[in-house]
């Protein structure tokens, strides 16, 4: 069976031999032109017209009222948590099945990650398990949610749309609203993914994106925050630009803030890539569909979007039978120069987060034993 899977991957990528990466960027649009323009203009740093253009494009693509360009996805998450009102020593609920940056951003806000399980079909935060967990451990006092066991306030919830597959975000928001917990969507993997016709990242109070080298579109390093809240949108820009009060020459700053603004050089690359987003997502969805058809007769599962979701299929994901089959397939495919990867180590098993509070994590643990990502680059 392993031979057959690897053969299908090679066939769909039209590459009979040689190395096939997991996800390689494609630069076939206006990338060189726009980057050269920033160099010619000398505006390579955080002031420039591509930064403005990038924010405009992000608003158009997501439908959010505000989009703020940020240096990377981790900083976007960190700032979004602060803007959602997370304070020192408070707790932030997130998935244990996520990339480490989600938990790191919580730690950067001096808060404690608190892990809740995912659904097996979406790989994203489970609204039913979240509800069940909160019913057990949460207590509402003065319109705020507290963890009865640790005594700390639960200040935010960060669901993550894993591999670009939309989770049941409307239900997660509904549960969080009942418990007075603001939602910050980690939509870093899901640019171009929609749920019930709305772009991911627009369901929570804030949404965050990443344009790192391995994501669906890239600008080297980059990120964004989106929100419909005017005051939060304004504050996001202010805090990401050292809280400088606009003035023709004076240096006045009104609070401790950050140098988190995306440089114009990166924004130029981001604009050129965003112009191709629709074509990229179309190709990735076609690849996912082809994979699904080619593996239909094999005893493996390909994780696909749920009803009402339109995934960007950033990384296509297979579920193998068990841990030993997964490990054997990883060894086999990588040896054959077809790059495949397991799920991230679960957050509650990492040394810096293994003492964090968590609920039942059965689905995450079951998935971690079986997940394999297969080559998912755009083939244009
Ligand atoms: C990529 C990613 C991030 C962080 O983005 P960077 O731009 O690399 O800082 C955060 N969370 C998740 C789930 C990611 O996949």
Per-residue CA distances from 226 to 88, 109, 221, 282 (Å): 23, 19, 17, 23
The span from the CA of 353 to the CA of 343, in Å, is: 17
**276, 303, 331 — which closes off a domain?**
276
Q: Verify that 250 and 341 share a domain, yes or no.
A: no
pLDDT-derived band at 112 (thresholds 50, 70, 90) equals: very high
Residue of 74, 84, 80 whose CA lies nearest to 145 = 84
pLDDT-derived band at 232 (thresholds 50, 70, 90) equals: very high
pLDDT score of 152: 98
Q: Verify that 108 and 190 share a domain, yes or no.
A: yes
Q: Verify that 236 and 289 share a domain, yes or no.
A: no
pLDDT score of 206: 98
Q: What are the φ and ψ backbone dihedral angles of 196, each rounded to 5 degrees?
A: 50, 40
Q: Verify that 272 and 289 share a domain, yes or no.
A: no
Token output for 127: 């609204």
Is 164 near ligand 1, meaning CB less than 6 Å away?
no
Ligand 1 mean position, distance from CA 159 (Å): 13
pLDDT score of 127: 98
* Mean pLDDT calculated for residue range 203-223: 98
Ligand 1 mean position, distance from CA 75 (Å): 9
Which atom of ligand 1 lies at the shortest distance from residue 77's CA? 10
Assess contact for 95 and 125: CB atoms under 8 A.
yes
Q: What is the pTM of this model?
A: 0.97
Reported for 176-182, long-range contacts at CB under 8 A and 24+ positions apart, including other chains, are 176/130, 179/134, 179/138, 179/140, 179/145, 179/154, 180/140, 180/143, 180/144, 180/145, 181/93, 181/145, 181/154, 181/155, 181/156, 181/157, 182/84, 182/85, 182/155, 182/156, 182/157
Which atom of ligand 1 lies at the shortest distance from residue 98's CA? 13
Is 212 near ligand 1, meaning CB less than 6 Å away?
yes
The span from the CA of 251 to the CA of 244, in Å, is: 7
Asked if residue 41 belongs to a domain, the reply is yes
Q: Give the range of the structural domain holding residue 192, as residue numbers without chain letter.
A: 31-276
- pLDDT over 90 at 83, yes or no: yes
Ligand 1 mean position, distance from CA 99 (Å): 7
Which atom of ligand 1 lies at the shortest distance from residue 99's CA? 13
Q: Please write the tens of the pLDDT for every residue from 236-289.
A: 999 999 999 999 999 999 999 999 999 999 999 999 999 999 999 999 999 999
Q: Please write the tens of the pLDDT for every residue from 284-320.
A: 999 999 999 999 999 999 999 999 999 999 999 999 9
Ligand 1 mean position, distance from CA 148 (Å): 31
As beta bridge partners, residue 301 has 319
Is 73 near ligand 1, meaning CB less than 6 Å away?
yes
Is 101 near ligand 1, meaning CB less than 6 Å away?
yes
Ligand 1 mean position, distance from CA 102 (Å): 7
Asked if residue 131 belongs to a domain, the reply is yes
Percent of the chain with pLDDT over 70: 100
Asked if residue 202 belongs to a domain, the reply is yes
DSSP code, position 205: S
Ligand 1 mean position, distance from CA 105 (Å): 10
Q: Verify that 285 and 241 share a domain, yes or no.
A: no
DSSP states of 174-190: HHHHHTT--BEEE-TT-
- Side-chain-facing half-sphere of 274: CA atoms under 13 Å: 27
pLDDT-derived band at 90 (thresholds 50, 70, 90) equals: very high
Q: Which residue has the tokens 């007075």?
A: 180
pLDDT score of 337: 98
Is 160 near ligand 1, meaning CB less than 6 Å away?
yes
Domain count, the chain: 2
Asked if residue 225 belongs to a domain, the reply is yes
The span from the CA of 89 to the CA of 87, in Å, is: 6
Assess contact for 164 and 313: CB atoms under 8 A.
yes
Q: Verify that 140 and 13 share a domain, yes or no.
A: no
Show the beta-strand stretches assigned E in the chain.
66-70, 91-95, 112-116, 138-141, 144-147, 154-158, 184-186, 194-195, 198-199, 206-210, 223-227, 301-302, 309-310, 316-319, 341-342, 371-374
pLDDT score of 46: 87
* Mean pLDDT calculated for residue range 9-18: 97
Asked if residue 26 belongs to a domain, the reply is no
Residue of 70, 6, 15, 26 whose CA lies nearest to 217 = 26
Assess contact for 143 and 113: CB atoms under 8 A.
no
Mean pLDDT, the chain, whole residue set: 98
CATH code of 259's domain: 3.40.640.10
Ligand 1 mean position, distance from CA 48 (Å): 25
Ligand 1 mean position, distance from CA 330 (Å): 23
**238, 261, 276 — which closes off a domain?**
276
Is 102 near ligand 1, meaning CB less than 6 Å away?
yes
Q: Verify that 214 and 109 share a domain, yes or no.
A: yes
Is 124 near ligand 1, meaning CB less than 6 Å away?
no
């Amino acid at each position: 069976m392993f031979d057959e899977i690897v053969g299908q991957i090679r066939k769909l990528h039209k590459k009979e031999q040689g190395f096939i990466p997991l996800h390689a960027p494609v630069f076939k649009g206006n990338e060189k032109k726009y980057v050269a323009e920033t160099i010619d203009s000398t505006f390579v740093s955080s002031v420039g017209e591509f930064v403005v253009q990038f924010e405009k494009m992000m608003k158009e693509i997501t439908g959010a009222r505000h989009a703020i360009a940020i240096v990377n996805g981790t900083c976007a998450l960190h700032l979004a948590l602060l803007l959602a009102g997370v304070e020192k020593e408070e707790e932030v609920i997130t998935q244990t099945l996520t990339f480490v940056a989600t938990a790191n951003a919580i730690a950067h806000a001096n808060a404690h990650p608190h892990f809740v399980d995912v659904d097996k079909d979406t790989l994203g935060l489970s609204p039913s398990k979240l509800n069940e967990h909160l019913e057990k451990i949460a207590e509402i006092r003065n319109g705020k949610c507290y963890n009865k066991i640790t005594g700390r306030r639960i200040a935010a919830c960060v669901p993550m749309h894993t591999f670009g597959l939309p989770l049941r975000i409307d239900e997660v928001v509904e549960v969080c609203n009942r418990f007075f917990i603001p939602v910050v969507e980690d939509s870093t993997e899901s640019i171009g993914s929609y749920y019930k016709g709305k772009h991911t990242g627009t369901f929570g109070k804030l949404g965050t994106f990443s344009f790192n080298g391995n994501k669906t579109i890239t600008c080297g390093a980059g990120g964004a925050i989106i929100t419909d809240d005017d005051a939060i949108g304004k504050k996001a820009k202010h805090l990401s630009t050292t809280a400088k009060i606009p003035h023709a020459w004076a240096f006045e700053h009104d609070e401790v803030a950050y140098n988190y603004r995306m440089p114009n050089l990166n924004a130029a690359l981001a604009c050129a890539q965003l112009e191709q987003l629709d074509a990229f997502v179309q190709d990735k969805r076609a690849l996912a569909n082809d994979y699904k058809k080619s593996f239909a007769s094999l005893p493996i599962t390909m994780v696909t979007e749920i009803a009402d979701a339109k995934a960007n299929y950033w990384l296509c994901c297979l579920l193998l039978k068990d841990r030993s089959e997964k490990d054997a397939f990883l060894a086999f495919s990588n040896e054959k120069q077809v790059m495949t990867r397991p799920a991230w180590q679960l957050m509650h098993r990492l040394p810096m987060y293994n003492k964090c509070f968590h609920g039942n994590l059965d689905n995450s643990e079951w998935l971690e034993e079986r997940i394999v990502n297969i080559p998912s680059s755009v083939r244009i």
